[in-house]
Amino acid sequence: MKFEVVQGRKSENDKLVRIWAYGEVLSFRDLLFILGHYFRSEEDYYPKPKYEGSTMLLKAILEIYSGIPLETVLRKYQLHRKTSRTVVVEVSK
């Protein structure tokens, strides 16, 4: 799996993580690496105390963990308009 941290569009310190997986499994290490970059980026663009910074991202993650449907969480945090649909490929057995 290859990760590339690239410049985002929000600010000078906004970073995005590009992923090339080639069929590899996303590990917890990979996931935490990605989340770390997103948390830092949110803190920079939405600094506390004026904004919630990465706290909103953590709240959204906790709602997914709690079983709230993805589409509901995306709408609540106004993320549905910022991303393309998630494509899930299911392999039949």
What would the two tokens of residue 34 be? 């990605």
Q: Report the first-to-last Cα separation within the chain, whole angstroms.
A: 24
Name the packing angle between helices 28-45 and 54-65 (round to 10°). 140
What is residue 84's predicted lDDT score, i.e. its pLDDT? 65
| 34-89 pLDDT, tens digit each | 999 999 999 998 988 899 989 999 999 999 999 999 899 999 998 877 666 666 55
Q: Indicate whether this model's pTM tops 0.75.
A: no
Integer-rounded Cα Rg, in Å, for the chain is 15
Residue with tokens 């990605």: 34
| 15-38 pLDDT, tens digit each | 888 888 887 878 899 999 999 999
Question: Mean pLDDT over all residues of the chain?
Answer: 85
Q: What is the DSSP string of 42-68?
A: HHHHS-TTTS-THHHHHHHHHHHHTT-
- pLDDT at 1 exceeding the cut of 80: no
In single-letter form, the type of residue at position 71 comes to: E
